[in-house]
Amino acid sequence: MHDRPPMADVRTPAEFAQGHMPGAFCLPLFSNEERVKVGTTYKQESREAAILLGFDLAGPKWSGFIRMALEKAPDKKIAVHCWRGGMRSGAMAWALDLYGFQVHLVEGGYKRYRRWVLDQFEKTWPLSVVGGMTGSGKTKILHELRRRGEQVIDLEDLAQHQGSTYGTLGRLVQPSQEQFENDLAGQLYRLDRTRRIWVEDESLTIGKRIIPRTFWNKMQEALLFDVQAPLEVRVKTLVQEYGTLDRDFLEESTERIRKRLGPEQTKRAVGAIREGRMEDFIREVLVYYDKTYRTGLRGRDAGRIVQVPVQDGRVEENAMLVLSAAKTSTLLTEI
């Protein structure tokens, strides 16, 4: 996967959208509708009839394929794959080779790649988890750890969601489940398994995306560094992050957790949103999120939770406190 040539995925746009290799570009031999026609012909008539139909459909498009390939791979070195290394990729590879491309045909296609992706989550990864109640600055601490040379996987960035009912921020669009897994596996592959890898404490789901269960189980077993920030610091942080969001979005998101918040608390939270009392809104919903976090902590091994008290929202200092706690924990483990 390192230093590979541009990767042309010749499956349909719909297949590509469902999931693709990170960095690949879509060079579809058939449209979504055309692939259905070819598949139907294969089943109802014969393989030969399907091939002929395929050539009829693709025939007028070959020059366009070559021009797009030249845009993506001007040095004429390219990799090509379809679902399992069959006729679609073979036909595209033939045409590009005829034009003078140096073509690498990916053996096993996307199907084999997906097996590789799922295998990554079965491996042992040296995880350390940054936890803490909502507003404790976990994500910012992760980014600071990365800036300091630590290995970090930002699951919320991969999932394009901040993890709560407000997690889309009214603008983020989540990738497909398949693409989320592909991107996570790709990032893991680039990391050094002999060094610590930091992730943020998450529930099994981030918005509508699900962390692969085997990987999430490893997160649950890892050391959790519980960043404990004062309530007032957390409220201030959350007002800055969420207070400027669209009020209709905030209200709709709050209504989605009405059953968990309770009718009276929901009423107070929505009223605060409508009146622009963002601090009051944050305090109302934090009651629920703090309770949820404490419940999650009780499900962990208490001996693998390291408390990291912080006094304010200064990210650089808080990241250093986490690193110091991690160093101390490592020394105690080695003694």
Residue 1 pLDDT level (bands cut at 50, 70, 90): very low
Domain range list for the chain: 7-118, 124-334
Over range 282-303, report the average pLDDT. 94
Tell me: pLDDT of 301 over 90.
yes
The predicted pLDDT at position 2 comes to 52
Strands 197-200 and 205-206: unpaired
- CA 175 remoteness from chain centre: 7
Residue 215 pLDDT level (bands cut at 50, 70, 90): very high
Tell me: pLDDT of 143 over 70.
yes
Report the alpha-carbon distance of residue 183 to residue 203 in Å, rounded.
Answer: 19
Name residues whose C-beta falls within 8 Å of residue 296's C-beta, 6 or more positions apart in sequence. 201, 203
Q: Is the dihedral of CA 215, 115, 14, 95 positive or negative?
A: positive
Residue 331 pLDDT level (bands cut at 50, 70, 90): low
| Domain 7-118 -> CATH class | alpha beta
Q: Among the options 29, 82, 127, 224, which is catalytic? A: 82
Residue 43 has which token pair? 């089943």
pTM of the model: 0.92
Return the CATH number of 124-334, one of 3.50.50.60, 3.90.105.10, 3.90.740.10, 3.40.50.300.
Answer: 3.40.50.300
Residue 335 pLDDT level (bands cut at 50, 70, 90): very low
Report the alpha-carbon distance of residue 267 to residue 274 in Å, rounded.
Answer: 11
Over range 107-118, report the average pLDDT. 97
Residue 26, burial from CB neighbour count under 10 angstroms (0-12, 13-18, 19+): middle
Indicate if 26 belongs to the active site.
Answer: no
Q: Is the dihedral of CA 7, 11, 12, 18 positive or negative?
A: negative
Helix (H, G, I), strand (E, B) or coil at 199: strand
pLDDT in tens, 194-214: 999 999 999 999 999 999 999
pLDDT in tens, 64-77: 999 999 999 999 99
pLDDT in tens, 216-274: 999 999 999 999 999 999 999 999 999 899 999 999 999 999 999 999 999 999 999 99
> Which residue type, as a one-letter code, is found at position 75?
D
pLDDT in tens, 86-107: 889 999 999 999 999 999 999 9
The predicted pLDDT at position 332 comes to 52
